[in-house]
Chains A and B, each alone.
Chain A
Amino acid sequence: MINGRLAHIDPAHPTTASALDPSALDPVAHEGAIVVAGVSKSFGSTTAVDNVSFTVGKGEVFGLVGPNGAGKTTLIRMIMNIFRPDEGGIRVFGKALAPEDKDRIGYLPEERGVYTKQKARFVLEYFAQLKGLSRADARSNAERWLKKLDLWEVRDRQIQELSKGNQQKVQLISAVIADPEVVILDEPLSGLDPVNVRVLMSVIRELAADGKAVLFSSHQMNLVEILCQRVLMIHRGKAMLYGNLDRIRRDYSDNAVLVQTGAALDDCPFVLKTLSHEQGRKVYLRHESHPEDLLSWLIHRGSGVKFFEQLPVKLEEIFIKIVEGNQ
């Protein structure tokens, strides 16, 4: 039984995660492929994960984001039943993870490796068979994925002879070769060149589009912003943010726009303050004002507007803001 808790929502920032009951906030919680509720884990005197809750639904790429050492990997290892949580509960496919359920989960760990002296296809077939596939199915799936990721030509080379990018592709294939319903990827794109990042991101999107629940863990917040609809931000084992990414951005937006205009912006009733910017002026609006108000005001004044852009707040900026706020 999941250790359910009442939602505590910070009125200023409704997406602040403090001991959330995932089902209270999540539209997908009732059908979550992974449900984590109030989970804690300590190693000696160090608390690695402290009362964290979230869900991952089918067909979504869920971002688990935080700096290195935040507790992401420990959290994932608890989901995979490699570590046992000290407190709280984890449900996968609606129940506590049983050994046979591992066949339905594809996992790419952060501390990952492959048998470097073996051939790529041989290793992939072995991993597929470990997931319960027959030898014939393992062979056919390996062939399909090797062709899909342009590795067919190097299928019979030792993995150590492959480029780092190709080695990481082999590692990703090993996680998805058995067509799992849940895919857990821990830092899958770290160390990759931009071309391979694009290739693997496209694969991850396809997995979600195919109805799989994808848990994407990364310290690269820019990639999480591109890939994920919902995120959990974790820092020093504690959940800092949780929910829809657009909603989070809105909540943490500093209500600023970038404008190039000849108008005297200090006269505008919607403007709080302005700062010079290399592309014009960065204009901070009053809390109750919206960018549309400023644009209407500029047009109404007949001032020329060469450039007007609503400044999106980056996840990284939100993270820094929260961490600094906590300190």
Chain B
Amino acid sequence: MISLKKVLTVARYEFTTTAMRKSFLLIALGMPLIIVGSGMVGTLMSTRQLKPALSQTIAVVDQAKILKPELLSAYKKENLPAEKDSFLSVEQSNVKFAPYADLDRALSALLKEEVSACYLIEADYLTSGNITTFTRESKLPSGGQRTVIKDQLYDSLRASLLDERVTGAVRDRLLEKPEFQSKEVSPDGQIRPETTLTRKFFSLVGPIFFFIMLTFSIFVSSAYLLQSLALEKQNRVIEVLLSSVTHEELLAGKILGLGLVGFLQTGLYAALLGYPILPFLGESGWNVLLLSPVYVVLGYLLFASLMAGTGIFFSGEQEANQFAGLWLLVVSAPAFFLGFAPGLDSWVAKSLSYFPLTAATAMLLRLSWAKAGMLDVLLSVAALIVGIHLAIRFAARMFRLASLMYGKPPNLPELLRIIRAAE
């Protein structure tokens, strides 16, 4: 008869000592901070890249004689509302154009660093459209700044060509880019505004992210258990513990306590990173939200038991960590198999969903993509429960057999011999 009080005592100890470990705090709290921080840095850098870095003067030599100096840097819209201005428009730019009579003077100013670039509007511009750019020799890429200058110069050229020929709203419309509106027609014929690029992106990566996060949760929690057992064997604490609790109580307490640690960590990640993605999961969102915890818990119980049952043969934390890597392959195997499957609702996907070792991760993947039905859910849960029952029995047996076995872990034939001898 298992004592619940002892199971909870072990669980509390395991939870407290693991969750308060520096390495845990570093990984649990540090990882989201690194991800969020690197995202912010990336955004800042790309924003800086798009904005003109410094105010600069650009020399313009107009051999085609079409550019009107008063329109060169002072293009004003006549009728369009101010909010239509983009930050690329002339008024908000830091670029100032300086007309030069000939190319020699402009290039001289360039070399003296009075101007940062020189744009030559070729004499045959009207027919050829040729504009030549002169810059000082540099090893640095010119980046987005040159695009801003070109857009501005193009605006000024078009304004000069249209000046006094076309006026009013027609002139403004010709100068302004059109506002494209996109609509999508659903299979049932309904017309809706097109999903934004951001939404499409997250709809694509959201399920993958969720799958990785939940699978990671199963693996991390199980790996904590493996490490804890290895550490106790390394520290020779197991026998002391077994003088107070049974093998089963110790195992159950560890599974409970360290499972909570793993779920705490994943919950933290989910809150910081996963929750904002949930709205983008679309119709699969609620399935993921409601059913994924079930598969995470069942998957954890299965893999924690298996990892405990096999990891008990290791007497060092390092060996256990290496061994945990092998289990990671098993945990994530359905993702590889399903990559080659005809589809997430194919017979391959269904078979993986009904096999205990692959059921949890296969179903998490299929649920994320809304490719699993109620029958799949029922059969996979049943398969997992049977698998967990067998895994716990296996783990308890191995635990009794090997908890006091020190030294080099046995190879497979030795292990089979030990198991046979214990029967």
A130 and B239 form a contact (CB under 8 A): no
A113 sits at the interface (CB 8 A):
yes
Q: Does B128 belong to the interface (CB within 8 Å)?
A: no
> Are B244 and A102 closer than 8 Å at their CB atoms?
yes
Identity of the chain A residue whose Cβ is nearest the Cβ of B244 in the assembled complex: A130
A308: Cβ under 8 A from any B Cβ: no
**CB contact list, B2-39 vs A, under 8 A:** 3, 5-6, 9-10, 13, 17
Q: Which residues in B have their C-beta under 8 angstroms from that of A127?
A: 240, 244
Closest to A138 in B: B9
Question: Which residues of A sit under 8 angstroms from B322, Cβ to Cβ?
Answer: none
> Measured between C-beta atoms, what is the minimum distance from A127 to chain B in Å?
7
Q: Is residue A254 within 8 Å, beta carbon to beta carbon, of the partner chain?
A: no
B88 at the interface (CB under 8 A from A): no
Name the A residues within 8 Å of B239 (CB-CB).
77, 82, 107, 109, 111-112
CB-defined contacts of A93 to chain B, threshold 8 Å? none
- Interface flags, B229-248, vs A, CB<8A=1, else 0: 00000011101111111100
Given the contacts A99-B1, A99-B246, A109-B243, A126 and B237 also touching, CB distance less than 8 Å: no
Who on chain B is nearest to A116 by CB?
A: B235
Residue interface bits B363-407, CB-to-A below 8 A is 1, else 0: 000000000000000000000000000000000000000001010
- CB-CB under 8 A from B140, the residues of chain A are none
CB of B421 within 8 A of chain A?
yes
Contacts of A106 in B (CB 8 A): 243
Instruction: Please determine whether B17 and A130 come into contact, CB atoms closer than 8 angstroms.
Output: no
Instruction: Assess whether A146 is interfacial by the CB under 8 Å rule.
Output: no
Q: Quick check: is A80 within 8 A (CB to CB) of the other chain? A: yes
**Using an 8 Å CB-CB cutoff, how does the interface string of A125-149 with B read, 1 for contact, 0 for none?**
0110111100000000000000000
Residues of chain A contacted by B404 (CB below 8 angstroms): 77, 82, 111
Nearest neighbor of B417 in chain A, beta-carbon distance: A44
**Cα of A174 to Cα of B242 in the assembled complex, Å:** 13
B245 adjacent to A114 (CB under 8 Å): no
Beta-carbon contact of B241 and A130 below 8 Å: yes
**From residue B406, how far is it (CB to closest CB) to chain A in Å?**
7
Q: What residues on A are CB-neighbors of B236 within 8 Å?
A: 109, 111-113
Bound state CA distance, A8 and B244, in angstroms? 37
A307 interfacial contact with B, CB 8 Å: no
- By the criterion CB–CB under 8 Å, are A113 and B240 in contact? yes
Which of A77, A80, A130 lies at the interface centre, i.e. has the most chain B CB atoms within 10 A of its CB?
A130
With an 8 A cutoff between CB atoms, is A193 at the interface?
A: no
Do residues A112 and B240 form an inter-chain contact, with CB atoms below 8 A? yes
Q: Are B240 and A126 in contact (CB-based, < 8 A)? A: no
CA distance A107 to B237 in the complex (A): 12
* Interface residue A105 (Cβ < 8 Å from any Cβ of B): yes
Question: Is A324 interfacial (CB-CB < 8 Å)?
Answer: no
Q: Point out the residues of chain A lying under 8 angstroms from B237, CB to CB.
A: 112-115
B256 CB, min distance to chain A CBs, angstroms: 15
Size range of the chain A interface in the assembly = 20 to 34
User: Bound complex: CA of A256 vs CA of B245, how far in Å?
Assistant: 52
- Residue A100 CB within 8 A of the other chain: yes
**Chain A contacts for B406, CB-based, 8 A:** 111
Q: How far is the CB of A138 from chain B (nearest CB, A)?
A: 10
- List chain B residues, Cβ under 8 A from A115: 17, 235, 237
A132 to B3, CA, bound (A): 10
Q: Is A274 an interface residue (CB 8 A)?
A: no
Structural contact, B235 and A174, CB atoms closer than 8 A: no
Of the residues A77, A108, A118, contact of B17 by C-beta under 8 Å: A118
Asked whether, in the complex, the Cβ of A82 is within 8 Å of the Cβ of B235, the reply is no
Nearest residue (CB) in A for B8 is: A129
Within the complex, the shortest CB–CB distance from B16 to chain A, in Å, comes to: 9
Q: A262-300 interface mask toward B, CB cutoff 8 Å, 1 = contact, 0 = none?
A: 000000000000000000000000000000000000000
Residues of B within 8 A of A77 (CB): 239, 404
Centre residue among B3, B235, B240, B243 by max chain A CB count within 10 A:
B243
Q: Is A225 an interface residue (CB 8 A)?
A: no
B243 touches A80 (CB 8 A): yes
In angstroms, Cα B242 to Cα A107, docked, is: 10
Check A132–B243 contact: CB distance below 8 A: no
Please state if A129 and B240 are interface contacts (CB–CB under 8 Å): no
The complex places the Cα of A174 from the Cα of B243 at a distance, in Å, of 11
Judged by a CB distance under 8 angstroms, whether A103 is at the interface is yes
CA distance A105 to B406 in the complex (A): 25
Closest chain-B Cβ to A299's Cβ sits at a distance in Å of 58
A198 to chain B, nearest CB (A): 24
Q: Which of B236, B239, B245 is most buried by chain A, counting CB atoms within 10 A of its CB? A: B239
Which residue from chain B places its CB closest to the CB of A133 in the assembled complex?
A: B9
Chain A neighbourhood of B5, CB < 8 A: 132
Given contacts A82-B242, A102-B243, A107-B240, contact A113 B235 (CB under 8 A): yes
In the bound complex, what is the Cα–Cα distance between A126 and B13 (angstroms)? 7
B244 in contact with A109 (CB, 8 Å): no
Nearest CB of chain A from residue B239's CB, rounded to whole Å = 4
> Assuming the A-B contacts A115-B235, A115-B237, are A130 and B6 also in contact, with contact meaning beta carbons closer than 8 angstroms in the complex?
yes
Kindly provide the distance from the CB of B13 to the nearest chain A CB, expressed in whole angstroms.
5
Please name all residues of chain A whose beta carbon is closer than 8 Å to the beta carbon of B243 when the two chains form the complex.
Answer: 80, 82, 102, 105-107, 109, 175
A126 touches B9 (CB 8 A): yes
Contacts of A175 in B (CB 8 A): 243
CA distance A99 to B421 in the complex (A): 24
Contacts of B9 in A (CB 8 A): 126, 129-130
Specify the chain A residue showing the minimal Cβ separation from B233: A113
Q: In the complex, which residues of chain B have a beta carbon less than 8 angstroms from the beta carbon of A129?
A: 9
Known: A44-B421, A100-B3, A115-B237. 10 other contacts (CB 8 A): A80-B242, A82-B242, A82-B243, A103-B244, A108-B240, A109-B239, A111-B236, A130-B6, A174-B240, A175-B243
Q: Which 10 residue pairs across A and B have the least CB separation, nearest first? A: A113-B236, A107-B243, A130-B244, A113-B235, A109-B239, A113-B237, A111-B236, A129-B9, A99-B246, A126-B13
A-B contact pairs, 24 of them (CB 8 A): A44-B421, A80-B242, A82-B243, A99-B1, A99-B246, A99-B249, A100-B3, A102-B244, A103-B244, A105-B243, A111-B239, A111-B404, A111-B406, A112-B240, A113-B237, A114-B235, A114-B237, A115-B237, A126-B13, A127-B240, A129-B9, A132-B5, A132-B6, A174-B240
